[in-house]
Amino acid sequence: MQIQPSELIWKNGKLIPWKDATVHVMTHCLHYGTGAFEGIRSYSTASGPAVFRLREHMERLQSSAKAINMNLQFSVEELCRAAKDTVRANKLVSCYIRPIAFYGVSGVGVNPIGYPVEVFIVAFPLGAYLGEEGLKNGIRVHTSSWHRASSATTAATAKICGNYLNSALAVMEAKLNGFDEAVLLNELHMVAEGSGENIFLVRQGRLITPPLNAGILPGITRESIVELAKDMGYSVSEQNFTRGEMYLADELFFTGTAAEVTPIREVDRRLVGDGRPGPVTKAIQTRFLEIVKGKDPKYSGWLDPIG
Ligand code: PPE
Does 305 map to a domain?
no
Final residue in a domain of this structure, among 91, 124, 157? 124
For residue 193, the ligand 1 atom closest to its alpha carbon is: 1
* CATH code of the domain containing 39: 3.30.470.10
Q: What is the pLDDT along the chain (307 residues), one digit of tens a residue?
A: 889 999 999 999 999 999 999 999 999 999 999 999 999 999 999 999 999 999 999 999 999 999 999 999 999 999 999 999 999 999 999 999 999 999 999 999 999 999 999 999 999 999 899 899 999 999 999 999 999 999 999 999 999 999 999 999 999 999 999 999 999 999 999 999 999 999 999 999 999 999 999 999 999 999 999 999 999 999 999 999 999 999 999 999 999 999 999 999 999 999 999 999 999 999 999 999 999 999 999 999 999 999 8
Task: Supply the residue whose CA is at minimum distance from atom 8 of ligand 1.
Answer: 197
3 state DSSP class of 4: coil
Strands (E) in 90-163, as ranges, are: 95-103, 117-124, 139-143
189 and 163 in a common domain: yes
287 and 146 in a common domain: yes
Residue 276 is classified by DSSP as: S
Q: From ligand 1's centre to the CA of 297, what distance in Å? A: 26
138 and 117 in a common domain: no
| Burial (CB count within 10 angstroms: exposed 0-12, middle 13-18, buried 19+), residue 286 | exposed
Contact 8, 87 (CB under 8 A): no
CA atoms of 157 and 132, how far apart (whole Å): 29
Final residue in a domain of this structure, among 124, 150, 166? 124
Number of Cβ atoms within 10 Å of the Cβ of 248: 12
What predicted TM-score, i.e. pTM, was given to this entire model?
0.97
211 and 288 in a common domain: yes
Does 2 map to a domain?
no
Contact 118, 72 (CB under 8 A): no
Does 302 map to a domain?
no
Helices and strands: H and E segment counts in the chain: 8, 17
| Ligand 1 pocket, Cβ-based, cut-off 6 angstroms | 39, 167, 193, 196-198, 217, 219-222, 255-259
Number of Cβ atoms within 10 Å of the Cβ of 160: 23
- Domain extent at residue 33: 8-124
Known catalytic membership, residue 84: no
Q: Report the domain count for the chain.
A: 2
Residue 160 is classified by DSSP as: B
Q: How many residues does the chain have?
A: 307
3 state DSSP class of 165: helix
Does 307 map to a domain?
no
Q: From ligand 1's centre to the CA of 159, what distance in Å? A: 8
Helix axes 220-231, 54-67, angle to 10 degrees: 140
Q: From ligand 1's centre to the CA of 221, what distance in Å? A: 9
Contact 107, 48 (CB under 8 A): no
